[in-house]
Structure 1
Amino acid sequence: MHAHSHLLCSSYLRLTGRPLIAQGQGDMPNDALLAESLYAADVAIVSHDTAADPIFNYANLQAQTLFGYDWERFVRLPSRLSAEPMLREARAALLQRVARDGYVDDYAGVRVTGDGRRFMITRATVWNLHDAEGVYRGQAACIHDWHAL
C-alpha cells in the first residue's frame, strides 16, 4: 500500500505541479504517513489497474463511503461499474482523453453507488499513473465535490 500511495502522489505532482493532498511543511512524509494521510483524506481518491477491463485497486475511506463499497468489494470491482450502463460510453471517452493528455482537472459526471443510488461528481481530477521508470500503472481520480441525485 505504501508504494501505491507514493505512486498516486508522485504521478499527480509530476502531471499537475500540485500535491495531491496537503503534506505540511518540508519534504514528502514517510511512506507510512503518506499512506495514512491519503486513506483518511476528505476527498475521494480511487485508482484502477491496467487490465483491458480495469479493476479498482485503491479506494480511500472517503471513496468507500461515497461509492458504498468496503475495501474488499471495491478492489474487486471493474471500474466501469461505477457508472450507469448508459453513461459508460462517456466514461470511456473521458479515460481516452486522460490517456492522451495525461490528466484532466475539469471532470464532472454521474456515478452510481453499490446499492444503485446516483450521485453527481464535480471538480474531479483524473490522471495517469506512471512509476519512476515511466511505466504506465493505470489511472486515478481525486473527487473534490459531489452531491446526491
Structure 2
Amino acid sequence: MSFPDPYDARFSSLLADTYLRLTGKSLLAEMPPGVTDATQWLYEKAPFGLLAHDTAEDPRFVYANRTAQEFFGYAWDEFVGMPSRLSAPPTKRSTRAQLMKDVLERGYSDHYRGMREGRSGIRFWIEDVTVWNLVDGAGRIHGQAALIGSTSPA
C-alpha cells in the first residue's frame, strides 16, 4: 500500500479543494501573505491539526501534518499507515465510527468534539473539528479528512 508524501501537491489540493467545496471555507485562510507553497504550509506550519485516512475497510491514516503529529505524539512514519480507529480510546471508537459513517452520508460535519488518545496513552479532547469526505472532481471518494482546531486535557 502506498501513501502520499507529506509534500504531495495533488493530495494537498484534494484536501483544500474538497474542504472548500463542502464547507464553503478555505483551508488556506490562515496562510500568511507572501507564502506561496500551500502544500508546505499545510504540512509544516498550519496552526491546526490536519489528518486524512483512506477508504479501506479498516481505514488507515495517509496524512498527518506536523500539528496533528504534535497533538498525538506520533512521527509521520508512525502515524501514516496506522488504522485511524486507534486514534480514539477503545471505549470511544463506536462514537468515532458513527461520526465517520455520518460524514460519508452527509459530506461533512463540523463543530465536533471527541476524546482521543496519543501515543503515550494520555487522553485529550480534540475540539472545533471539521471532518469531510475527500472527493475528486469525478465524484470518487478517496477517504476522509479532519481539521482539528484545538485540543484540551481530558
User: Normalised by the size of structure 2, how large is the TM-score?
Assistant: 0.89
Quote the residue 1:127 is aligned against.
Answer: 132
CA deviation profile, 1:50-71 (whole Å, cap 9, x unmatched): 1000000000000001011000
Q: Which residue is equivalent to 2:110?
A: 105
4+ residue runs over 2 A deviation: none
RMSD of aligned Cα (Å): 1.4
Give CA deviations for 1:8-33 in whole Å, capped at 9, x if unaligned. 000000001110122567xxx86xx1
For the pair 1:115 / 2:120, whether they are aligned, the reply is: yes
Counterpart for residue 46 of structure 2: 41
Percent same amino acid at aligned positions? 46
Show structure 2 runs of 5+ residues with no match.
1-7
Count of aligned residue pairs for this structure pair: 144
CA distance in 1 between partners of 2:151 and 2:120 (Å): 17
Say if 2:51 and 2:64, in contact at 8 Å, map to a contact too.
Answer: yes
Give me the whole-angstrom Cα distance separating, in 2, the residues matched to 1:59 and 1:70: 9
| Counterpart residue type for residue 16 of structure 1 | T
Structure 1: 5+ residue runs without aligned partners?
none
Aligned to 2:120, the other structure's residue is in SS state coil
Does the CA contact (< 8 Å) of 2:28 and 2:38 recur in 1?
Answer: no
Partner of 2:88: 83
Distance 2:41 2:117 in 1: 26
Match of 1:6 among 13, 37, 54: 13
